Structure 1
Amino acid sequence: MGNPLDNTEIINILIEEIRETVPELEGQPISASDSMVDLGVNSIERSEVILAAMERLDLKIPMVQLHGPKDIQELADLLLVKSAG
Protein backbone atom coordinates (compact mmCIF):
# COMPACT_ATOMS: atom_id res chain seq x y z
CA MET A 1 0.00 0.00 0.00
CA GLY A 2 1.37 3.35 -0.97
CA ASN A 3 -0.73 5.45 1.38
CA PRO A 4 -0.38 5.30 5.13
CA LEU A 5 -3.18 3.28 6.65
CA ASP A 6 -5.89 4.90 8.66
CA ASN A 7 -8.04 3.47 11.39
CA THR A 8 -11.34 3.75 9.50
CA GLU A 9 -9.89 1.88 6.53
CA ILE A 10 -8.70 -0.95 8.80
CA ILE A 11 -12.09 -1.13 10.56
CA ASN A 12 -13.90 -1.34 7.21
CA ILE A 13 -11.58 -4.10 6.01
CA LEU A 14 -12.08 -6.06 9.25
CA ILE A 15 -15.87 -5.75 8.95
CA GLU A 16 -15.77 -6.83 5.28
CA GLU A 17 -13.66 -9.85 6.22
CA ILE A 18 -16.01 -10.76 9.08
CA ARG A 19 -18.95 -10.71 6.64
CA GLU A 20 -16.94 -12.76 4.13
CA THR A 21 -15.87 -15.34 6.71
CA VAL A 22 -19.20 -15.59 8.54
CA PRO A 23 -21.93 -15.23 5.88
CA GLU A 24 -24.68 -15.51 8.52
CA LEU A 25 -23.75 -11.97 9.62
CA GLU A 26 -24.45 -10.53 6.16
CA GLY A 27 -27.58 -8.59 7.11
CA GLN A 28 -26.50 -7.71 10.63
CA PRO A 29 -25.08 -4.28 11.44
CA ILE A 30 -21.48 -4.48 12.63
CA SER A 31 -19.72 -1.53 14.22
CA ALA A 32 -16.23 -0.84 15.53
CA SER A 33 -17.45 -1.30 19.11
CA ASP A 34 -18.61 -4.88 18.46
CA SER A 35 -16.47 -7.78 19.59
CA MET A 36 -16.09 -10.74 17.28
CA VAL A 37 -17.03 -13.04 20.18
CA ASP A 38 -20.32 -11.17 20.71
CA LEU A 39 -21.00 -11.43 16.97
CA GLY A 40 -20.63 -15.21 17.22
CA VAL A 41 -17.29 -15.39 15.40
CA ASN A 42 -15.38 -18.42 16.70
CA SER A 43 -11.62 -18.51 17.25
CA ILE A 44 -10.88 -20.19 13.91
CA GLU A 45 -13.00 -17.66 12.03
CA ARG A 46 -11.35 -14.84 14.00
CA SER A 47 -7.94 -16.06 12.84
CA GLU A 48 -9.19 -16.23 9.25
CA VAL A 49 -10.56 -12.68 9.48
CA ILE A 50 -7.30 -11.31 10.90
CA LEU A 51 -5.11 -13.17 8.39
CA ALA A 52 -7.26 -12.00 5.45
CA ALA A 53 -7.22 -8.41 6.73
CA MET A 54 -3.44 -8.49 7.21
CA GLU A 55 -3.03 -9.85 3.68
CA ARG A 56 -5.16 -7.00 2.27
CA LEU A 57 -3.18 -4.49 4.33
CA ASP A 58 0.14 -6.10 3.34
CA LEU A 59 1.06 -6.64 7.01
CA LYS A 60 3.10 -9.47 8.46
CA ILE A 61 2.48 -9.66 12.20
CA PRO A 62 2.75 -12.80 14.33
CA MET A 63 -0.76 -13.81 15.44
CA VAL A 64 0.44 -14.09 19.04
CA GLN A 65 0.90 -10.29 19.02
CA LEU A 66 -2.76 -9.78 18.08
CA HIS A 67 -4.44 -11.32 21.12
CA GLY A 68 -6.09 -9.05 23.63
CA PRO A 69 -8.22 -6.52 21.74
CA LYS A 70 -11.78 -6.60 23.08
CA ASP A 71 -13.51 -5.21 20.00
CA ILE A 72 -13.00 -4.37 16.33
CA GLN A 73 -11.86 -0.83 17.21
CA GLU A 74 -9.10 -2.10 19.50
CA LEU A 75 -8.00 -4.65 16.90
CA ALA A 76 -7.85 -1.92 14.24
CA ASP A 77 -5.84 0.30 16.62
CA LEU A 78 -3.41 -2.56 17.27
CA LEU A 79 -3.02 -3.30 13.54
CA LEU A 80 -2.42 0.40 12.88
CA VAL A 81 0.30 0.57 15.56
CA LYS A 82 1.93 -2.63 14.28
CA SER A 83 1.79 -1.38 10.67
CA ALA A 84 3.75 1.72 11.67
CA GLY A 85 6.52 -0.64 12.72
Structure 2
Amino acid sequence: MNGSAESVPGTDSAEERVLAVLRRTTLEIVPEVDPALFTPDRTLSDLGCNSIDRAEIVTLAMEELDIAVPVHEFHQGMDLAALAAIMRKQL
Protein backbone atom coordinates (compact mmCIF):
# COMPACT_ATOMS: atom_id res chain seq x y z
CA MET A 1 0.00 0.00 0.00
CA ASN A 2 1.32 3.43 -0.82
CA GLY A 3 0.41 4.94 2.55
CA SER A 4 -1.86 7.62 1.10
CA ALA A 5 -5.02 5.70 1.96
CA GLU A 6 -5.79 3.40 4.83
CA SER A 7 -6.83 -0.06 3.78
CA VAL A 8 -9.99 -1.36 5.37
CA PRO A 9 -10.16 -5.15 5.64
CA GLY A 10 -12.91 -6.64 3.49
CA THR A 11 -13.20 -3.65 1.15
CA ASP A 12 -12.03 -3.05 -2.38
CA SER A 13 -10.55 0.12 -3.82
CA ALA A 14 -13.93 1.41 -5.05
CA GLU A 15 -15.45 0.93 -1.61
CA GLU A 16 -12.43 2.60 -0.02
CA ARG A 17 -12.96 5.53 -2.39
CA VAL A 18 -16.61 5.80 -1.33
CA LEU A 19 -15.63 5.62 2.35
CA ALA A 20 -13.04 8.37 1.78
CA VAL A 21 -15.68 10.59 0.14
CA LEU A 22 -18.12 9.88 2.99
CA ARG A 23 -15.42 10.72 5.52
CA ARG A 24 -14.52 13.97 3.78
CA THR A 25 -18.13 15.09 3.39
CA THR A 26 -18.93 14.15 6.98
CA LEU A 27 -16.05 16.26 8.27
CA GLU A 28 -17.11 19.11 5.97
CA ILE A 29 -20.72 19.11 7.22
CA VAL A 30 -19.97 18.25 10.88
CA PRO A 31 -16.41 19.46 11.55
CA GLU A 32 -16.62 18.59 15.24
CA VAL A 33 -16.63 14.85 14.42
CA ASP A 34 -13.44 13.22 15.66
CA PRO A 35 -11.84 11.74 12.49
CA ALA A 36 -10.52 8.82 14.54
CA LEU A 37 -14.11 7.73 15.21
CA PHE A 38 -14.90 7.44 11.49
CA THR A 39 -14.77 3.66 11.11
CA PRO A 40 -16.84 1.37 8.83
CA ASP A 41 -18.70 -0.18 11.77
CA ARG A 42 -20.13 3.13 12.98
CA THR A 43 -23.23 4.94 11.78
CA LEU A 44 -23.48 8.63 10.98
CA SER A 45 -25.73 8.88 14.05
CA ASP A 46 -22.95 7.33 16.17
CA LEU A 47 -20.76 10.21 15.00
CA GLY A 48 -23.30 12.77 16.23
CA CYS A 49 -24.87 13.61 12.87
CA ASN A 50 -28.54 14.58 13.00
CA SER A 51 -31.02 13.74 10.23
CA ILE A 52 -30.31 16.95 8.31
CA ASP A 53 -26.55 16.36 8.55
CA ARG A 54 -27.00 12.79 7.31
CA ALA A 55 -29.08 13.89 4.32
CA GLU A 56 -26.49 16.54 3.40
CA ILE A 57 -23.58 14.11 3.78
CA VAL A 58 -25.22 11.48 1.56
CA THR A 59 -26.28 14.07 -1.03
CA LEU A 60 -22.82 15.64 -1.23
CA ALA A 61 -21.15 12.23 -1.42
CA MET A 62 -23.43 11.15 -4.27
CA GLU A 63 -22.75 14.42 -6.11
CA GLU A 64 -18.99 13.99 -5.73
CA LEU A 65 -19.17 10.37 -6.88
CA ASP A 66 -21.57 11.32 -9.70
CA ILE A 67 -24.07 8.63 -8.72
CA ALA A 68 -27.76 8.47 -7.85
CA VAL A 69 -29.03 6.01 -5.26
CA PRO A 70 -32.79 5.65 -4.76
CA VAL A 71 -33.86 6.90 -1.34
CA HIS A 72 -35.50 3.56 -0.48
CA GLU A 73 -32.02 1.94 -0.52
CA PHE A 74 -31.02 3.84 2.64
CA HIS A 75 -32.14 2.65 6.05
CA GLN A 76 -31.95 4.20 9.49
CA GLY A 77 -29.00 2.86 11.43
CA MET A 78 -26.90 1.69 8.47
CA ASP A 79 -23.24 1.55 9.35
CA LEU A 80 -20.75 3.33 7.11
CA ALA A 81 -19.64 0.06 5.48
CA ALA A 82 -23.22 -0.73 4.41
CA LEU A 83 -23.73 2.84 3.21
CA ALA A 84 -20.51 2.68 1.18
CA ALA A 85 -21.47 -0.71 -0.29
CA ILE A 86 -24.81 0.67 -1.54
CA MET A 87 -23.09 3.68 -3.10
CA ARG A 88 -20.33 1.53 -4.60
CA LYS A 89 -22.91 -0.48 -6.57
CA GLN A 90 -23.73 2.69 -8.51
CA LEU A 91 -20.15 3.42 -9.60
State the distance in 2 between where 1:65 and 1:52 align: 17
4+ long deviations beyond 4 Å: none
| TM-score after normalising by structure 2 | 0.76
State the distance in 2 between where 1:28 and 1:56 align: 20
Unaligned residue ranges in structure 1 (runs of 5+): none
With a CA cutoff of 8 Å and minimum separation of 6, indicate the structure with the bigger relative contact order.
1
Determine the structure 1 residue equivalent to 2:56: 48
RMSD over aligned CA atoms reads 1.7
More helix per residue: 1
Unaligned residue ranges in structure 2 (runs of 5+): 1-12
| TM-score after normalising by structure 1 | 0.80
Deviation at 1:18, TM superposition (A): 0.6
Identity %: 29
